[in-house]
Amino acid sequence: MTSLRPFHAMDVFKFNPTNLDPLTETYDLNFYFTYLAQWPHLFNVAEGADGTIDAYIMGKTEASPSYMTFSEHYLPWHAHITALTVAPHARRLGLARTLSQSLEHSGDEYDAWFVDLFVRKSNKVAQALYHGMGYSVYKRVLDYYSDDPTDETKDGEDAYDMRKPLTRDKERKHIRKNGESYAVEPHEVF
Amino acid sequence: MAGLNNADAETARVILSDIENKHFKHALTKVDKKLKKSDSDYFKALQLLIKAHLGQVSEKAAILLHLEELVLSKRILTDLNAIQIFDETLELILPKPGENWARIIGNLRWQLVKALPKDVDAGRACFRACLAKEDYEHARHIANSLEKNFPGTHEYVFWNITTMFLFSQCHDYPDKERTLYGALAEGMMRKLADATIKAADSSSLPTRSIHKVQEFRLMDTILKNGNPEKMNPVRLKYLQDPFLGPDSTIAKGEWQLWRLKLELLKKDPQLLFQTTSDLLKRARTKNENGEITESRFSDWIVWKSYIDSALLNKSIYQGEVDAEIKAHLDPKTGIDKSWRRNASLASLKFALAPVSAFPSNEPESKANLIVDYLQRYGDTNVAYTDLRTVIPFLTSQDLDWLLTTLIENSNESSEALPSQSQTKGTLSPLNQDTATAIGIARLVNVFKLVFLLTSSLPESQRRLSREQSLQGKKTMAKCSKCSTSLFDPYCGLCLTELAWTTAKSYGLAINDDGRITSTLLLTDLHPADDLGILAAMCLVKLSVKDTPAALNESLDHPAICHLLQAAVLLEYAWSHSKANSQISLMLTRIYYSLGCGSLALRAYKRLGVKQIQNATLSHYMFDGISTFHPHPFTSEETSESRSIIEDLKDQLKIYRGSPKQISNKIWSSFENNNYNTIFELEQVKKALAYNVSAVMSVMESRKVSRVVQPNAPLTASSHGYDILREFERLANKMAIANVNQATDIDDPEIKFSDQNDHETIPNFEVLEDESPLAYLGRASRLKMPLPDRLHNDILADKVRMIVDPTTDPVSRGSSRTWLDQSLSSIYEEGEEFYAIANILQGVQSFDKILQGQLTEKLNEIDILGSGSAPATRAVLHTLYVTYDIGTTVSRLKAYLHKTNSDIKSYSSLDLGEQLVKTVIAKAALIKHSLDEGGWIDKVLSSVFQGDVDVVVDDASVPGTWKSVVDENFMEAWAGQVVDSWKDSVKGFAYFNSQ
């Protein structure tokens, strides 16, 4: 069964099915509660038959500060996927797609231009998922990650900043073609 | 330092710099000099702060008195900086100021806001400070002042209401006032909601009305807190309103509002059916661009409400429901697979639910529905979890058919093997698809269902039938698969067969010459993992029927043998799928029961537990560690030793650091107008403050210290005991409520918080408490659940503090006071420390009770395994506990002698020394036995010879093992088990008869 509900603060005691997976980071409580305090409507859980947390998504809405308005890296009001995780037992059910769509829906409700996220350049599975959902690469952030799980000899890995335009962006002005070849340094990313 | 002139500000900066650099005497000289010239509140506050830094206990009392006089003088301080310094001073002299804060600083802050009502910054700062200290009384006054003095600010209306509600929920305030402010909050919210409805236009809402969905949710939380009979219709009224409800502009599509509405509609099934029917239609309707934009209405909550309401009048709704399900399942509709699965499950539930007038009474039709669902979703891990919820609806006849069908379908060529007589056929691994990930996933679901049908689901029915049989009412039940009469609550023969069949299938799937395994990343799970886990689960289930008594037995006892078999199978599985946390969790528990401390820790460390997970998972490893492996663990990688106390100290960090973090986020929630988050965060704060895992960590740390550092005196607050004051206060409150049978026993304020995770560990049973792993945990650890046990742990700790000659007088005095006040009301009889505590209190009648208990302990030690038995958890626990009791009784005797008590009246006290000596002798015997050779062969023999009569696909158990686990792996593992046992008994070296 698939059922969505808002993440409740007490869920930090129940998210081991997702967070014991080595690909999911367990942060300091401050991190989760910052999102709950500011964007509770963008923090949702997919619940299993017996109330198990099968997956969750954390997101936020934001824009670059006003002093960056004329910078080429200025980010207009948009929704951002901070974390999206699916427990191993609940994979291949389409939950990542379902949760992403719920965040896109909220992005539309809050008048965002687009939804964006960062994904490792090596994570082809995730990129394929997002491509299939209408996301495209907007830019490549050089050495955004401090490690490279596919190559222990490397100290870092690039990230793709992927975007999906929302209803507000009728002219599709916040996406671009061949974003893979548009490289920026990490300090240029807000 | 706003408000100071430039010269004063400069002086203050210099003084603060001195304070920061701990040059307190310099700072005091400067501040005294300054105060000779001016009568500044700010510098007076600094003077007090410096004195608090410098002060001894007596001076601190004087500072507290000075602060109290500030309040009593009724002089209003209008310098916020000065109040903040006073706040810091109080925190310094009373690290947990509690109600003193509200009485002194909270009061000063409120008086300042009252004097400067238009100073919004001061108001907000004081409001924040009061919230952080849970001083809701003054926070309420300040929020009210902000609302009244800034009538155009929309958010202050909700700050005021939220604070009133927080006040009403806090049990520290008088009931009458709490009720009053709860009612006020409710009344104000309803007025605001009515104003929104009246405005009828979201673009021109008045200040005093609901503007945002977060405000609506605040109202619903407040209303939900009231009497459901009275409030639920009100909640529903607002949820159905077009200007407030889930389809309103202010709702912004917030899904939670629909969840609330559907929950409330349950009282009106007809309306619920109509509402959910509309939602399901919307969920599959495309917009003008041909897109489905409201697919979220296919949520299981909607389907469940739809089916449940339809089942109440199935004959009327049958056609409509079937059509809706069909529409959702139609691939042309274009609904995503995650939502489509809900329609499939709804279809099953509708057909199988007990009220169902199923069109055909032929059992195979129902079995086929399950099989059909498996064909659709059998390649996902959750198919079994889904089906587990509907299978209990099937009759015994249905279940028989299903079992037969599953077994036949799982064997690709079922005629390859002749069925055993009187059985429903046999699962045949050689005839199953173990070559592809999808084939394996399907097989996993079939095996789990067979487990459910043969050894789990009927368990409760069989238990009932056995009880009836014992009462002479009915004959014994028979196994639904092999027709054997059942004496146990499940069929041991079929479970054994399933264990080995599953193990064999696992072996075929995992030993694949790299077909699947070579394609997996380090972070991937192997698709066959659940086969290995299920096989191990069957073995654990076979083991637990003989525990706990059997855990003292030799290695060839079935209970030990099955646990060893489960352990090696899981260890092998882990070597192929290192990211699988379920394997590591199971191994932690199994090794713990076997007494292999170092291997249990190794499995636990593989989980990578961190942050809040310490509060939920640490019980798997550290609950009872003091009577299991109190001595340091040696790291495999670095060969360095690490004390258990260090591990436990790390765990306590989460409890120390979180209250401040959460308070900051509560403030942030106010600032961002997310009011519901405030109540959720309050819940987390309480859950951590009263957390049983925190108490466990402190208690275990103190107990470990007493074993490994017997000469290091403990104080009343060492090893983190200071963070338990809140818990202790609650323990007393709870006990008093228990004794008085008070009506407020259900009050959440007097309940401990058990957030230990018992769900993440695998469980294929219908009910959690029937999980073999849960049973193993209970059997091999301690008889009572953790929260109950902690009462006795606190009592035992107080007793040890009193009789321990190294305890300082202050700590002994506070322990004695605690015992005087609490003993009569708190603890259950039957525990040795309860009897010891009563003797300490001079209750002579407990001498006989204690004597009986100690004699029983001596007998326990006498029959404790030795020679052929390893040092299992049960053995270790009995030895450590008995040693602790013996030592305490000896110390009690010495203490009473020293205090001139009449020890001749207490003959039980003579048994203390005898207990200690007996434990030491038995421990030496066990250690000596382990030092002898041959243990690796004994382990291997136990693993190979258990269930030797079972035959799977013509192979016996030894043959099956050879096809599953590599021989070298098995031998290396057996060596690790024996080394771990040898490591476990190293702790015996701390036993001392002196």
3-state secondary structure labels for all residues of B672-730 = CCCHHHHHHHHHHHHHHHCEHHHHHHHHHHHHHHHHHCCCCCCCCCHHHHHHHHHHHHH
User: How many CB atoms sit inside 10 A of residue B651's CB?
Assistant: 22
Contacts of A12 in chain B (CB under 8 A): 612, 684
Minimal CA–CA distance to B175: which of B726, B747, B731? Answer: B747
- Backbone Cα Rg of chain B: 34
Q: Locate the domains of chain A by residue range.
A: 3-188
Is A28's CB within 8 Å of B255's CB? no
Strands A157-165, A114-120: parallel, antiparallel or unpaired by DSSP? antiparallel
Q: Exposure pattern of A70-94 as b/e (b: 16+ CB <10 Å)?
A: eeeeebeebbbbbbbbbbbbbbbbb
Q: Quote the pTM value.
A: 0.92
Indicate the SS3 state at residue B758.
coil
Q: Exposure pattern of B430-465 as b/e (b: 16+ CB <10 Å)?
A: bebebeebebbbbbbbbbbbbbbbbbbbbbeebbeb
Residues 6 or more apart whose Cβ sits within 8 Å of residue B283: B292, B294, B295, B296, B297, B298, B302, B328, B335, B339
Q: How close is the nearest chain A Cα to the Cα of B398, in Å?
A: 23
B348 and B366 Cβ atoms separated by less than 8 Å? no
Separation in Å, CA B44 to CA B12, B54, B61, B498: 11, 15, 17, 79
User: How many CB atoms sit inside 10 A of residue B884's CB?
Assistant: 22
The Cβ-side half-sphere exposure at B455, using a 13 Å CA radius, reads 26
With CA atoms as reference, the chain B residue closest to A39 would be B674
Minimal CA–CA distance to B626: which of B833, B754, B778, B781? Answer: B781
CA distance B628 to B873: 6
Structure tokens at B984: 């476990």
Sign of CA dihedral B16, B21, B22, B24: negative
CA distance B178 to B172: 9
Cβ contacts from A onto B, under 8 A: 170
Q: Nearest 5 degrees, angle CA B132-CA B134-CA B137?
A: 120
CA distance B788 to B799: 18
Q: In degrees rounded to 5, what are phi and psi of residue A121?
A: -60, -30
Per residue in A108-147, pLDDT (tens digit) is 999 999 999 999 998 888 899 999 999 999 999 999 988 7
Contacts of A124 in chain B (CB under 8 A): none
Indicate the SS3 state at residue A83.
strand
CA distance B858 to B889: 14
Per residue in B213-256, pLDDT (tens digit) is 999 999 999 999 999 999 999 999 999 999 999 999 999 999 99
Whose tokens are 């008045």? That residue is: B206
Q: Which 8-state DSSP code applies to residue B78?
A: -
With CA atoms as reference, the chain B residue closest to A23 would be B523
Strands A3-6, A43-47: parallel, antiparallel or unpaired by DSSP? antiparallel
Structure tokens at B628: 């299991």
With CA atoms as reference, the chain A residue closest to B679 would be A9
B673 and B767 Cβ atoms separated by less than 8 Å? no
CA distance A186 to A144: 6
- Output the DSSP codes for A133-171: TT-EEEEEEEEEES--TT-TT-S-EEEEEEEEE-TT-TT
Strands A183-184, A136-145: parallel, antiparallel or unpaired by DSSP? parallel
Domain A3-188 has CATH 3.40.630.30: yes
CA distance B390 to B406: 16
Is B338's CB within 8 Å of A28's CB? no
B538 and B564 Cβ atoms separated by less than 8 Å? no
Confidence label for A176 from pLDDT (cuts 50, 70 and 90):
very high
Mean pLDDT of the A38-44 span:
97
Separation in Å, CA B674 to CA A60, B145, B185, B226: 14, 21, 17, 21
Is B613's CB within 8 Å of A22's CB? no
Structure tokens at B99: 């109600």
CA distance B980 to B985: 9
All residue ranges of chain B with pLDDT < 50 are 356-358, 413-423, 739-749
pLDDT of residue B741: 45
Is the peptide bond preceding residue B548 cis, with omega within 30 degrees of 0? Answer: yes
Q: How close is the nearest chain B Cα to the Cα of A130, in Å?
A: 15
Beta bridge partners of B955: B952
Separation in Å, CA A166 to CA A110, A135, B252, B734: 11, 10, 16, 54
Sign of CA dihedral B867, B869, B871, B877: negative
Contacts of A102 in chain B (CB under 8 A): 255, 296
Runs of H (alpha helix) within B411-545: 437-451, 458-470, 492-510, 529-544
CA distance B801 to B809: 10
Which H helix or E strand runs over B474? Answer: none
Which H helix or E strand runs over B166? Answer: helix B154-169
> Has residue A59 got a pLDDT over 50?
yes
CA distance A50 to B758: 13
Q: Exposure pattern of B338-354 as b/e (b: 16+ CB <10 Å)?
A: bbbbbbbbbbbbbbbbe
With CA atoms as reference, the chain A residue closest to B383 would be A1
CA distance B455 to B449: 10
Q: In degrees rounded to 5, what are phi and psi of residue A158?
A: -75, 155
Per residue in B99-123, pLDDT (tens digit) is 899 999 999 999 999 999 999 999 9
Q: In degrees rounded to 5, what are phi and psi of residue B752?
A: -75, 160
CA distance A41 to A4: 12
CA distance A104 to A84: 13
pLDDT of residue B933: 86
Contacts of A20 in chain B (CB under 8 A): 581, 607-608, 613, 760
Per residue in B872-892, pLDDT (tens digit) is 888 999 999 999 999 999 999
Per residue in B17-75, pLDDT (tens digit) is 999 999 999 999 999 998 988 888 999 999 999 999 987 767 888 999 999 999 988 88
Contacts of A91 in chain B (CB under 8 A): 381
Is B336's CB within 8 Å of A12's CB? no
Structure tokens at B489: 């609550």
Is A9's CB within 8 Å of B681's CB? yes
Strands A114-120, A183-184: parallel, antiparallel or unpaired by DSSP? unpaired
Beta bridge partners of B286: B292
Contacts of A79 in chain B (CB under 8 A): none
B569 and B536 Cβ atoms separated by less than 8 Å? yes
Minimal CA–CA distance to B214: which of B671, B740, B895, B775? Answer: B671
Separation in Å, CA B392 to CA B237, B257, B456, B473, B478: 37, 32, 11, 25, 18
Whose tokens are 């003579």? That residue is: B910
pLDDT of residue B413: 39
CA distance A158 to A172: 25
- Output the DSSP codes for B269-331: HHHHHHHHHHHHHHHT-B-TTS-B--GGGG-HHHHHHHHHHHHTTHHHHHHHHHHHHHHHH-G
Which H helix or E strand runs over B105? Answer: none
Residue in A1, A6, A14 nearest the CB of B342: A1
With CA atoms as reference, the chain A residue closest to B684 would be A10
